[in-house]
Amino acid sequence: MTKIQELRSLSEAELLSMKIELQNKIMHARFRSKFEPPKNIMEVRDMKRTIARINTLIRQTELKEQK
């Protein structure tokens, strides 16, 4: 799990690439779960939460730029 402090230290481009990477991992995990049981059932949930944190940080930077 990625902590929010670690994410805040990244640039916006790095956050976007990390978000895309996590979305791909979720897609592959769902695909794999159709053929074999998942090894860690909390894996997808943790990735979704990290994506939500990334989206929040991206939105915060957008709002700061508007002011």
Could you tell me how far CA 54 lies from the centroid of its own chain? 6
Three state DSSP letters for 34-51: CCCCCCCCCHHHHHHHHH
Q: For the chain, what is the domain count?
A: 1
Residue 20: which CATH number? 1.10.287
Residue-wise pLDDT for 32-64, tens only, equals 988 998 888 899 999 999 999 999 999 999 998
Mean pLDDT, the chain, whole residue set: 91
Amino acid at position 46, single letter: D
pTM for the model stands at 0.87
Give the model's confidence band at 66: pLDDT under 50 very low, under 70 low, under 90 confident, else very high: confident
* pLDDT greater than 80 at residue 12: yes
Q: Which domain holds residue 50?
A: 4-66
